[in-house]
Amino acid sequence: MDRRAAEELIRVALRRDDPAACELLWDRYGADLLAFLQAALCSRHDAEDVLQTVFLRIVRKRRHLAAARYLDAYVHQIARNEATSFLRRRRRQKRPLDWDPKRNVSRLGTQSDAQPWLVPAEPADTSREEAEALQAALTRLPAVQREIVVLKTYKDKTFREIAAMLDLSLSTVASRYRYGLEKLRAWLKDPES
Amino acid sequence: MKEIDKQLNEVEQLLKKVRLVEPSEKLRAQVVGAARETWENAPADIPWRVPLRHLGLSAAAAVLIVSCANYYSVRTVAPWQAGRPVATRMAAADFEDMPEMPYSPFVRHLIATCGAPTRDASALLDYVQSLRNTFDGAEEDDAADGSGPSEHESRLLPAGSKIDSYV
């Protein structure tokens, strides 16, 4: 279904206060939000947990959502806020063990999470080690660049769509994507750099 | 430039070797089920209530701050306000025993009206008028006695008297 048509259906269901909007919201945003949360949290398990919280939040704010000008931006802003709150809570709880103050990043996504959030596209073609190296390199990226790289590469979103989803300008999205790829290139060439 | 673009394309191709884990049907059922349950049980946030709640909280905070400031300011200045009077009240002078008091009716009037509330404009006007009447009466008394000073003479020292006569 066309993106605009799907959004219009959601708006109509929200205005009618029809619970069927939950399914429509899932069909339109479920996969995108999970990808976004995996990129933000670097963890499949955490992303699934937070996704449920995001949907509950959306349901509570359904009247705001019905009145929102850009559904994409509104929904992703809720997801971003929930992801930020989740990371803050986790840092407070597990900071002594899992916080890397030198790089100011959480290492939870790379070390503590048993479930990988990136898997080989063609298991016969790509080894598990290669997939882990790519996941580790992506995890090292700053979240703002990682989210854009993930959405562009794995969800085939255009820069324009990403800009609308994240409420950013087109040039910001493009430059963050490029900086992200340059860093990945350097790290994949020399993982110790 | 082209070399960098080529390298970035290679990175993109490398990234394509992995993919994200797609949401499972189980996850879908779980998330949508929880969302439906919340939809049916919990009331939705009403947009206009949010600014109203913020306004209420701000007003409550302002009242609290002002009350605290008031309370602590009163507490701070209390030691200077609650002390006992340092001087005893002076006994009223017996003006009847002072034969040389000039304008004695005026002074008597002042004593009589001392402490009278003159807070509104009409009372103040009455008070000024009564003062004027008293003052005019005192001058008339002096003129009748013939002891009053002439126009350009001092009222404190009668004309022709020496300062030694008062010592």
Question: Which domain does A134 fall in, by range?
Answer: 3-189
Which residues of chain B have a CB within 8 Å of the CB of A44? 21
Name the minimum distance, in Å, from the CA of B54 to any CA of chain A. Answer: 16
Q: Is the pLDDT of residue A101 over 50?
A: no
Q: What does the pLDDT look like over B19-31, one tens digit per residue?
A: 888 899 999 999 9
> What percentage of chain A has pLDDT greater than the value 90?
47
- pLDDT for res B69: 95
User: Do B18 and A126 lie within an 8 Å CB cutoff?
Assistant: yes
pLDDT of A97 higher than 50? no
Site of tokens 């008031």: B70
Number of domains forming the structure of chain A: 1
DSSP string, chain A: --HHHHHHHHHHHHHTT-TTHHHHHHHHHHHHHHHHHHHHHS-HHHHHHHHHHHHHHHHHTHHHHHH-S-HHHHHHHHHHHHHHHHHHHHHHHHHHHHEETTTTEE-IIIII--S-SEEESSTTTS-HHHHHHHHHHHHHS-HHHHHHHHHHHHS---HHHHHHHHT--HHHHHHHHHHHHHHHHHHHH-TT-
pLDDT reported for residue A165? 85
Asked if B28 lies within 8 A of A38 by C-beta distance, the reply is: no
* A90-94: long-range pairs with CB below 8 Å, 24+: none
Q: Do A38 and B7 touch (CB under 8 A)?
A: no
B31 touching chain A per CB within 8 A: yes
Query: Over the stretch A155-165, which tens digit does the pLDDT of each residue have?
Result: 888 999 899 88
Could you tell me which residue, B96 or A165, shows the higher pLDDT? A165
Report the residue of chain A nearest B44, measured CA to CA.
A60
Is the dihedral angle over the CA atoms A64, B22, B29, A8 positive or is it negative? positive
At B66-88, the pLDDT tens digits run 999 999 988 888 777 655 555 55
Of the two residues A22 and A123, the one the predictor is more confident about is A22
Residue of A nearest to B14 (CA): A134
Residue B131: exposed, middle, or buried by beta-carbon count in 10 A (0-12, 13-18, 19+)? middle
Calculate the CA dihedral of residues A11, A17, A19, A22 and round it to 10 degrees. Answer: 30
B63 touches chain A (CB under 8 A): no
Q: What distance in Å separates the CA atoms of residue B158 and residue B147, rounded to the nearest whole number?
A: 8
* Cβ proximity of A100 and A40 under 8 Å: no
| Amino acid B100: pLDDT | 62
Cα(B102)–Cα(B117) distance, integer angstroms: 26
Domain ranges of chain B: 23-75, 95-146
